[in-house]
Every structure is written in structure tokens, then in C-alpha cells.
A and B are shown apart, each in its own frame.
Chain A
Amino acid sequence: SQQGEEDPQALSIQEGENATMNCSYKTSINNLQWYRQNSGRGLVHLILIRSNEREKHSGRLRVTLDTSKKSSSLLITASRAADTASYFCATDAETSYDKVIFGPGTSLSVIP
């Protein structure tokens, strides 16, 4: 399985602090994506980083990718209570874009 594994499984921080979540995967990939899921809701695509990229920014989000270590990190700066959600990394196999596999997710709680 090339399923991504998120670390930590749960994270609780104060509003204004930065939140860092990590993801590891097992096989070569084309892309790695991060999704957010609010409780009881569908998934919202946050950011995609391609295998030939090392870092990407989108607003308060910063994603890094280290293909040599098969790992990625998602940094949320200046967190807000509205960032409370589960965050999933998802990878697709080098041979098949359709086989997007989700990791187990990190549950982030931002305390006002």
C-alpha cells in the first residue's frame, strides 16, 4: 500500500499559533495533496504539490515535499478557530492518477 500516514493523529493548539502536520508515504508519487474536512462534511482540496516541487505556499498554508524521505508537511500559520478540522494528505501512484489514496488524517483543534 502506498497510503500516506499523517503525524500527529491529533493536535490541539491555541489560536494564533502555527500548526504543523506531517505525512509519510511508501511508493513513488506524481503528486501529493492536502485536503481539509470539517466535521460531518465533505473534503475540501487545499493544495497540491507535484513530485518535482519542494515547497508551495497558498495564503497561510505552506507545504513541503521531500521525495527522498517520502514525506510532506503542512504548516498552517497564525491559526484560527475556523481551522479546526481534520486534515488528510492524499497521494497518487506514479502509475495511476486515479488511485488517490488518503492517509488516516490529523485532527486539528484550534482553541480560541
Chain B
Amino acid sequence: DAMVIQNPRYQVTQFGKPVTLSCSQTLNHNVMYWYQQKSSQAPKLLFHYYDKDFNNEADTPDNFQSRRPNTSFCFLDIRSPGLGDAAMYLCATSDRPRVPYKFFGPGTRLTVL
């Protein structure tokens, strides 16, 4: 089945140790998004790619970076994780911009020790 896959589902890292989260999709969608969701809060958009064009949200910290080497994969890099970065990270896709709904992956729960 076509889907959005996130690996790993659970990630533990140490304070300040870089970590990379992975998202892949078999939907062949042009747009990929990364959301951060802290406990009992709403998901918050960090950035998105439309093809190779990167669109950063104004309030996304510089500590968060993203790479999209091809249509199928998108990575979230956290350069120096802090305790406040512990959250669920959700990847989503849409086939083109300006469509209202997204297909979400199951998320990666990040723990920072």
C-alpha cells in the first residue's frame, strides 16, 4: 500500500548529540512536511519542501534543518538537541501545494536525555 513511513518510530539521543529522523513516501507526492508535536499540544509546522524548494517557517529554530535528496525521502536533522526538543515528529505529504489535506506518517517520538 502507498504510504508515508517514518524511521525510527522511537529515537533516544543525548543532549547536544546530533540526530536525524527519516521520512519516506511511496505516494510520489511533490510536497513533504515536517511537524513537531509536543505532549498534549497541536502539531506545529516546522518546514516543508515543494519538490526541491525548501520553505522554512519563520519561528523554526536554526537548530532544525532538513534535506530532501529525492522525491521519496526527506530528513529532519536536529543539530544540537535540547531537552525542549523532545517531542513527536510527524512527516506528511501532499501531491501538490495548495491542497488542503495531508497524508501523515506514524511519527517518530524523540527522547532527549
Contacts and interface: CB of A to CB of B under 8 A. Distances in A.
A100 B45 contact: yes
Given A97-B98, A99-B45, A104-B41, A45 B55 contact: no
A44 B106 CA distance: 9
Contacts of A88: 42-43
B102 to A, nearest CB: 7
Interface residues of B, number: 27
B98 to A, nearest CB: 4
B103 interface: yes
A31 B101 CA distance: 9
B32 to A, nearest CB: 11
A98 to B, nearest CB: 6
Contacts of A97: 97-100
A96 B104 CA distance: 19
Given A41-B107, A43-B90, A30 B100 contact: yes
Interface of B: 4, 6, 31, 33, 40-45, 48, 55, 88, 90, 92, 97-107, 109
Q: Which 3 A-B pairs have the closest CB atoms?
A: A102-B42, A97-B98, A31-B100
Interface of A: 3, 30-31, 33, 35, 40-45, 48, 88, 92, 96-105, 107
